[in-house]
Amino acid sequence: MPSTTTPTSAPATPDVAVIGGGPAGLMAAEVLAAQGARVAVYDAMPSVGRKFLMAGKGGMNLTHAEPEPAFLGRYGARTGQLAPMLADFGAQALRDWVHGLGIDTFVGSSGRVFPTDMKAAPMLRAWLHRLRESGVQFHMRHRWLGWEDGDGVPHALRFATPHGDTVVRARAVVLALGGASWARLGSDGAWVPRLAQRGVEIAPLRPANCGFDVAWSEDFSTRFAGAPVKPVAIALNDRDGHLNYRQGEFVISRDGIEGSLVYALSAPIRDRIEADGEATIHLDLLPSHSAEQVSAQVEHPRGSRSLSSHLQSRLGITGVKAGLLRECLSRDAMLDPGTLAVSLKALPLRVLRPRPIDEVISSAGGVRFEAMDASLMLRALPGVFCAGEMLDWEAPTGGYLLTACFASGRTAALGAAAYLTRA
């Protein structure tokens, strides 16, 4: 982990206290310092950017190069709220900013944008160096506990530190505390009751970009846990009757399903489970075959060959795909050519629940946009701004998460800078 300054027992009195040193908070600190504010970053962990570094482990996907309308559409119901922030600091601005840190980027075949070395650590190191040079102070192992009642609320901030509790007074505050996944990296969602007590409206934090539990038989999960299913498509009707259909690949896990295709559809699957108690998705095991082609091949006379050899030779159904058929269809259904053909294109799979929030990539829910003005200042707590994953938006993987964290960090900082001139 990149080193940061050692904890200070007597924190300075900054103009702005940025609480949370993930991408959103660090961007807020940078923008505020550039505006001439005295900025201090407080983080509960011994070093900043731990989730950012974790995101770099599998290849740091910074943003996406797709055209703007499609890009904005990834934020679903929150596109309207995020569009102005992304217009100010979107995918290209983010890439230019990364280049300014001395890190090159490239666009992968899927349109995803990565640093050339795929890593987060060199970028974070260069960024922290630049932040310190611009005068930003870092106070690690400072866990924000809420506000000191009756003393300059909301700007008297209580922290637990290794040297005991302390109170920091600031003229404005940016909260960038993250969501509620991977608590061991710092973002544990403990801020929810602290803000709720102050009258801030918060949508419940929920798993996003997540896998799901399926009640596999012992035999199936023993044989196929870890097996990739590809190519495959998943179809799911959401409650409004809208058909989500997407092709890609996913992985069988011991308890269910995970992987990119499942993450991409995780929001509608999760919403369906929340509404109905469970969801049935349909697997298209032969996405490049038409229903007619599948039917013709299934019904082709198989002579003395077993059904599995028939499916293998005529349609290439083998391994985990054959296992899924046996797992999800009754013996009678398998032996009925009509039902089998339909099932190869739409195999029903009952999905029970999302994986626990702590192990998923991101969380949905958070501070409602209605609780903030356009500069991300809390209506209930003037002078307190929020940014990053703790806001009530969600997006699929593909760099959209980091892009919105950076963009909202910048918006909150510009709001806080303007507030300082008014206060």
- Taking the complex as a whole, how short is the minimal distance between the CB of residue 245 and ligand FAD, in angstroms? 24
**Which amino acid appears at position 40 of this protein?**
A
Q: What is the binding site for ligand FAD (CB under 6 A)?
A: 19-25, 42-45, 48, 50-52, 54-55, 60-61, 143-144, 176-178, 181-182, 186-187, 190-191, 361-362, 388-389, 399, 401-402, 405
- Taking the complex as a whole, how short is the minimal distance between the CB of residue 264 and ligand FAD, in angstroms? 14
| Residue number with CB closer to ligand FAD (127 or 182) | 182
Exposed e or buried b per residue across 385-398, where buried means at least 16 C-beta atoms within 10 angstroms of its C-beta: bbbbbbbbbbbbbb
**Which amino acid appears at position 119 of this protein?**
K
- Taking the complex as a whole, how short is the minimal distance between the CB of residue 170 and ligand FAD, in angstroms? 14
DSSP string, 343-393: HHHSEEEEE-EEPPGGGSSEEEEEE-GGGB-TT-BBSSSTTEEE-GGGBS-
| Residue number with CB closer to ligand FAD (21 or 256) | 21
| Residue number with CB closer to ligand FAD (23 or 323) | 23
CA distances from 152 to 57, 167, 199 (A): 42, 11, 17
- Taking the complex as a whole, how short is the minimal distance between the CB of residue 186 and ligand FAD, in angstroms? 2
- Taking the complex as a whole, how short is the minimal distance between the CB of residue 229 and ligand FAD, in angstroms? 21
Give me the helix-helix angle, 23-34 and 121-133, nearest 10°. Answer: 30
41 neighbors 21 (Cβ within 8 angstroms): yes
CA–CA separation, 311 vs 302, rounded Å? 9
| Residue number with CB closer to ligand FAD (327 or 389) | 389
- Taking the complex as a whole, how short is the minimal distance between the CB of residue 408 and ligand FAD, in angstroms? 8
| Residue number with CB closer to ligand FAD (16 or 283) | 16
| Residue number with CB closer to ligand FAD (177 or 367) | 177
| Residue number with CB closer to ligand FAD (26 or 234) | 26
- Taking the complex as a whole, how short is the minimal distance between the CB of residue 302 and ligand FAD, in angstroms? 46
3-state helix, strand, coil in the chain (%, to 5): 40, 25, 35
Q: What is the CA radius of gyration of the chain?
A: 25
DSSP H/E element including 233:
strand 228-237
